[in-house]
């Protein structure tokens, strides 16, 4: 895909906030899937075993060796302001909390009283938030998993970097040939998450403007704590497609 096509994909991705079939189809229509996808590997015990077993492993973004991946910005003053607001609302005797929860009842899926009772059983430990804010980029990256491919089997940079200076090999996948697609067809695949939630192939978007991942940062902090299930579910609904946006953006200079 050229830069113009990638921009169209990115703008569409940033415009959707749900998983409705129409919106998903509109997004997939912007992706010009190449005929082949390539992955460069060195010759090692691990890479040869994966080749023999026909397996690929996802990497979490905090282990990426490229500092230009997950090109994001977090508005720390905004995070602190929301943290302070949440803390004040959860103080005992604050009537504003109940009033806000009443307004959110249709979204939360339970009454304000039920939600407050749930909070009593699973209180939020807000004392850990300041330290987690300082670690927020790593926290975000630990929630992102991907496998990276290239369209060009002759990419010199990737041969040098990932195939041990031309001493390795390139795996080439024929994306258009359904008969060669083995994922999900073996007995061992029955409980594989990739079969249940089939992964998509998305293009990377290159830009000079970092993506504002503040809302996703707040959700990631909540997911890592012992908080009521309803809060986790609510935060998940507010950041749908955020993992894809954060994963697929890279600084243009690279």
For residue 39, which phi and psi values (nearest 5 degrees)?
-140, 125
Which pLDDT score is estimated for 101?
66
pLDDT band at 166; cut points 50, 70, 90: very high
**Does position 191 have pLDDT exceeding 80, yes or no?**
no
Residue range 27-40, pLDDT digits in tens = 999 999 888 999 99
Q: What is the DSSP letter of 168?
A: S
| Structural domain boundaries in the chain | 1-32
CA dist., res. 43 & res. 242, Å (int) = 35
Cα–Cα distance list, 11 to 14, 16, 56 (Å): 5, 9, 30
Residue range 73-98, pLDDT digits in tens = 888 777 667 666 666 666 656 666 66
- The Cβ of residue 171 has, within 10 Å, a number of other Cβ atoms equal to 15
Which pLDDT score is estimated for 84?
66
Q: Which tokens sit at 254?
A: 């690279």
Q: What is the DSSP letter of 29?
A: T
- In terms of pLDDT, which residue wins out, 165 or 76? 165
Which pLDDT score is estimated for 99?
72
pLDDT band at 225; cut points 50, 70, 90: low
pTM of the model: 0.70
Residue range 94-138, pLDDT digits in tens = 666 667 667 656 555 567 677 666 666 655 565 666 666 667 777
Which pLDDT score is estimated for 11?
96
- The Cβ of residue 31 has, within 10 Å, a number of other Cβ atoms equal to 18
Which pLDDT score is estimated for 137?
73
pLDDT band at 242; cut points 50, 70, 90: confident
- In terms of pLDDT, which residue wins out, 210 or 240? 210
Beta bridge partners of 169: 41
- Which residues, at least 6 apart from 84, have a Cβ–Cβ distance to it below 8 Å? none
Mean pLDDT of 141-162: 88
């Amino acid at each position: 895909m050229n830069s113009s096509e990638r921009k169209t994909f990115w703008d569409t991705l940033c415009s959707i906030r749900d998983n409705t079939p129409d919106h998903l189809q509109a997004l997939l229509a912007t992706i010009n899937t190449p005929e082949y996808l390539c992955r460069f590997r060195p010759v090692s015990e691990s890479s040869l075993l994966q080749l023999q077993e026909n397996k690929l492993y996802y990497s979490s973004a905090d282990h990426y060796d490229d500092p230009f991946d997950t090109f994001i910005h977090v508005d720390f003053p905004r995070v602190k302001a929301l943290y302070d607001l949440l803390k004040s609302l959860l103080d005992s005797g604050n009537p504003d909390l109940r009033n806000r929860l009443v307004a959110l009842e249709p979204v939360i899926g339970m009454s304000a009283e039920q939600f407050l009772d749930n909070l009593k059983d699973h209180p939020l430990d807000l004392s850990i938030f300041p330290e987690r804010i300082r670690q927020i980029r790593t926290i975000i990256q630990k929630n992102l998993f991907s496998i990276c491919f290239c369209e060009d089997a002759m990419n010199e940079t990737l041969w040098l970097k990932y195939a041990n200076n031309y001493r390795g090999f390139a795996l080439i996948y024929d994306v258009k040939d359904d008969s060669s697609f083995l994922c999900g067809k073996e007995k061992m695949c029955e409980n594989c998450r990739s079969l249940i939630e089939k992964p998509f192939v998305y293009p990377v978007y290159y830009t000079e403007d970092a993506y504002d991942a503040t809302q996703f940062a707040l959700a990631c902090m909540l997911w890592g704590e012992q908080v009521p299930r309803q809060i986790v579910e609510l935060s998940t609904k507010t950041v749908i497609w955020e993992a894809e946006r954060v994963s697929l953006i890279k600084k243009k200079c690279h």
